[in-house]
Amino acid sequence: MLVFWDQRLVFLATPKTGSTAIEAALDGLSSFSILRPPAAKHTDAARYRRFVGPFLRASAGAEFTTVALMREPQDWLASWYRFRQGEEGPDADGAAQGLGFDRFVRDHMADPVPPHADVGSQAAFLKGPDGGVDRVFAYEDIDRFVAFLEDRLDCGITLPRLNVSPDAALEIEPDTVARLRRHAAADYAMWERLRG
């Protein structure tokens, strides 16, 4: 999460949407940032509205605009899958080594969800009971997001390539895709509105 005090702007870091690159490019311009631990770095809309937003509003005497990115839902899961393929060690409870992508997506839709596929939902991250993110941009149109930031921050921005997940085979059955579209209907509806 990055807070730009003078511009009354907050970037909420949706996981697996290039947030590490954005933070690397903009951390020096922000008034303050929360980059770790991951639970704080990836503060969602609900936690922002409940805790951070009221603090900023009380401190600045003004509302802050929240912005975030959202990725096409299947591609977002593919990024999580590639990331989880690389997790190793005794603390890697979420590791997905040896699983195919189709199995990972089916596990993501299971009840209960196994730890390796328990990655949540972008729609849940971006929307909360007390209001969602003010401006959401499609990850696939990141140039539009960068142009927005350049305008608000009055500077040029070049994003580095950081935290890129390793390549992996992404075969998936048509039936799994159809099930995912039903399971993640809120995510798909939100993403399609962004792209529309």
Q: Please report, for the domain that includes residue 48, its CATH number.
A: 3.40.50.300
pLDDT tens sequence across 79-127: 999 998 876 543 455 577 789 999 999 999 999 999 999 999 999 999 9
pLDDT at residue 130, rounded to an integer: 81
Residues of the chain with pLDDT under 50: 89-91
pLDDT at residue 118, rounded to an integer: 96
pLDDT at residue 98, rounded to an integer: 84
pLDDT at residue 92, rounded to an integer: 53
- Whether the model pTM is above 0.85: yes
Domain that holds residue 113: 2-195
Q: How many domains is the chain built from?
A: 1
Taking the CA atoms of residue 45, residue 158, residue 160 and residue 2 in that order, the dihedral angle to the nearest 10 degrees is -30
CA 89 to CA 5: how far, in whole Å?
39
DSSP states along 93-151? TT--TT--HHHHHHHHTSSSPPGGG----HHHHH--TT---SEEEEGGGHHHHHHHHHH
pLDDT at residue 88, rounded to an integer: 53
Q: At what angle do helices 185-195 and 73-85 cross, to 10 degrees?
A: 110
